[in-house]
């Protein structure tokens, strides 16, 4: 078959899958919580019972990734084990236990003319997910969409194609025994860039696209989509150590935010230290960070600091460039600068931040108030690690991603953020004069 023929076949396949997902979303939107929860429990049970099949498919993806020279960190993200599948199944049961947002009355009132107005949460319809080599997202996105009354149209990376294919098959088979149409969870056919383009431009079939991955993926989706997009995830997160910070607290927060899990979007990437506390803070923080394996990308002020010399000699401190201030490292690297004021710190953050999470460590109410008022990001942490920007940590139970935009949803996106609203207005023969 010619390349052109393949494109036509893929387009026909996509239209068929997307049309079925749209029909499924209409049916799913009418189901009650008990029906949706029953379907989720069937999915959880099926994931456990078919673990051997899932692990075998995943092994094919892992072997190919190793042959292609994929880094150990990315292979770890790709890997599914019996324990990880059990955790995914439990997370599915946890979603079933969450309140159903659909039908919630956002506001309701009666007008002077007697019209009763209610604003209700309703499903969006069909949610398209585009994500990188993390097959657990296939299940996470599907079950969160289902619980909120939406169909999920999933496009994972080609590196996880076998894993994603079997996971969707498992979930669709489980749905066949429920009131939820199996097409409510579907995989975009094909692995080419054309299949991504089809999803991004499927206005009328897909209601919203949510990308989940690195900066390049998200930017590509934003630039090429004609379907509305909710931006997620890019996390150049900052920590500002104020002049009035408690040093032990500041060191503990810095280490946790950078070291606890450096490969995620809510890990800290830049540390800004007020000059008035730099001597005391750096005396403790520098050796602690270096002992944890962190490479510090330092501005001129830090490079000139007396406490930095020995670490620079050992290669643990290197000169920072503009690329470092913009970087989301996903590694044990940290850009570090010394600032003369909170105003300078806020200016730096507003210049380089991706709008994800920023941290202030301070005992000064005035400094805290200024920081929270003037820093414009989805989450501001006061004397707490950036690692808490997470749906589960916020008490949502689960999340589909961290939104860094300002429209509709911002910050961790739980079930409520996967809904929109409609107004239902009830009259008694009312006509407008």
Q: What is the pLDDT of residue 405?
A: 87
Q: Average of pLDDT values for 124-152?
A: 95
pLDDT band at residue 391, thresholds of 50, 70 and 90? confident
Average confidence (pLDDT) over 341-351? 98
Judge whether 431 lies within some domain: no
268 inside domain: yes
Query: Does 377 lie in the same domain as 283?
Result: yes
Same domain? For 106 and 201 the reply is yes
Task: Please answer whether residues 339 and 219 qualify as being in contact, where contact means their C-beta atoms are separated by less than 8 angstroms.
Answer: no
Report if residue 169 sits inside a domain: yes
**Chain segment 217-247, per-residue pLDDT in tens:** 888 999 999 999 998 877 899 999 999 999 9
Residue 27 lies in a domain: yes
For residue 3, what pLDDT is reported? 35
CB contact at 8 A, 258 and 227: no
Whole-number pLDDT of residue 12: 67
Residue 88 sits in a domain of what CATH number? 3.40.605.10
Statement: residue 317 has pLDDT above 90 = yes
pTM: 0.85
Domain hosting residue 91, numbered range:
8-233+409-426
Residue 243 and residue 382: Cα distance in Å, rounded?
Answer: 14
Band (pLDDT 50/70/90 cuts) for residue 11 is low
Helix axes 161-175, 33-49, angle to 10 degrees: 130
Is there a single domain that holds both residue 217 and residue 78? yes
Please state, in angstroms and rounded to a whole number, the distance separating the CA atoms of residues 386 and 268.
7
> Do residue 76 and residue 143 come from a single domain?
yes
Q: Which two tokens stand for residue 102?
A: 């659909």
Residue 68: is its pLDDT beyond 90? yes
SS3 68: coil
Mean pLDDT calculated for residue range 4-8 = 37
Q: What is the pLDDT of residues 159-172, one digit of tens each?
A: 999 999 999 999 99
- Asked if residue 21 and residue 138 are part of one domain, the reply reads yes
Residues 78 and 164 in one domain: yes
Whether residues 289 and 169 share a domain: the answer is: no
What is the CATH number for 316? 3.40.309.10
Higher-confidence residue: 43 or 404? 43
Confidence of residue 74 (pLDDT cuts 50, 70, 90): confident
Given the DSSP bridges, would you call strands 357-361 and 379-382 parallel, antiparallel or unpaired?
parallel
Both 47 and 190 in a single domain? Answer: yes
Q: Is 127 or 193 the better-scoring residue by pLDDT?
A: 127
Total structural domains within the chain: 2
Residues 267, 163: one domain?
no
CA distances from 173 to 29, 44, 134, 144, 170 (A): 20, 12, 22, 18, 5
The answer to which of 47-56, 246-255, 257-266, 391-400 has the lowest mean pLDDT is: 391-400
Contacts of 104 (CB under 8 A, 6+ apart): 120, 121, 416
Contact 287, 307 (CB under 8 A): no
């Amino acid at each position: 078959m010619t390349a052109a023929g393949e494109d036509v076949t893929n387009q026909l396949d996509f239209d068929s899958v997307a049309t079925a997902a749209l029909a499924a979303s209409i049916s799913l939107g009418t189901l009650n919580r008990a029906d949706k929860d029953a379907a989720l429990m069937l999915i959880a049970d099926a994931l456990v019972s078919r673990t051997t099949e899932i692990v075998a498919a995943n092994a094919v993806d892992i072997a190919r990734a190793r042959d292609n020279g994929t880094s150990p960190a990315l292979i770890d993200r790709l890997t599914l084990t019996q324990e990880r599948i059990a955790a995914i199944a439990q997370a599915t049961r946890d979603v079933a236990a969450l309140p159903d947002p659909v039908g919630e009355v956002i506001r309701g009132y009666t007008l002077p003319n007697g019209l009763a107005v209610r604003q209700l949460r309703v499903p969006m319809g069909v949610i398209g997910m585009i994500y990188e080599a993390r097959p657990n997202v296939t299940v996470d996105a599907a079950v969160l969409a289902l619980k909120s009354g939406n169909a999920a149209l999933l496009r994972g990376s080609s590196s996880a194609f076998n894993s994603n294919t079997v996971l969707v098959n498992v979930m669709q088979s489980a749905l066949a025994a429920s009131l939820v149409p199996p097409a409510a969870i579907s995989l975009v056919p094909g692995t080419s860039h054309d299949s991504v383009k089809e999803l991004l431009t499927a206005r009328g079939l897909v209601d919203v696209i949510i990308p989940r991955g690195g900066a390049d993926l998200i930017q590509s989706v934003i630039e090429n989509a004609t379907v509305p997009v909710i931006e997620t995830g890019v996390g150049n997160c900052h920590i500002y150590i104020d002049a009035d910070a408690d040093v032990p607290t500041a060191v503990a927060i810095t280490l946790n935010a950078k070291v606890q899990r450096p490969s995620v979007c809510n890990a800290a990437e830049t540390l800004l230290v007020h000059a008035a506390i730099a001597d005391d803070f750096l005396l403790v923080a520098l050796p602690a960070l270096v002992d944890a394996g962190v490479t510090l990308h330092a501005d001129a002020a830090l490079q000139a600091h007396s406490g930095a010399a020995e670490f620079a000699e050992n290669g643990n401190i290197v000169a920072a460039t503009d690329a470092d201030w913009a970087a989301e490292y996903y590694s044990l690297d940290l850009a570090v600068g010394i600032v003369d004021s909170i105003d300078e710190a806020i200016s730096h953050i507003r210049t380089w931040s991706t709008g994800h999470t920023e941290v202030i460590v301070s005992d000064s109410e005035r400094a805290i108030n200024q920081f929270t008022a003037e820093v414009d990001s989805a989450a501001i942490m006061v004397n707490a690690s950036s690692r808490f920007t997470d749906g589960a940590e916020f008490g949502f139970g689960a999340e589909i991603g961290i939104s860094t935009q300002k429209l509709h949803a911002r910050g961790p996106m739980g079930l409520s953020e996967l809904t929109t609203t409609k107004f239902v207005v009830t009259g008694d023969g009312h006509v407008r004069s």
